Amino acid sequence: MNLINYLVVMLNVRIERARTAPTRGASAVEWVIITAIIAAVALGLATLIQGLVTDKQGEIEDSF
Domain boundaries, the chain: 23-64
pLDDT at 1 over 80: no
What is this structure's pTM? 0.55
**pLDDT of 10-62, one tens digit each?**
888 988 887 787 766 667 788 889 999 999 999 999 999 999 999 999 999 99
Helix (H) or strand (E) holding 19: helix 2-20
Q: Is the dihedral of CA 42, 48, 51, 57 positive or negative?
A: negative
Amino acid 25: pLDDT: 64
Cα separation, 41 vs 53, whole angstroms: 18
Q: What share of the chain is helix, strand, coil (3-state, %, to 5)?
A: 90, 0, 10
Amino acid 16: pLDDT: 85
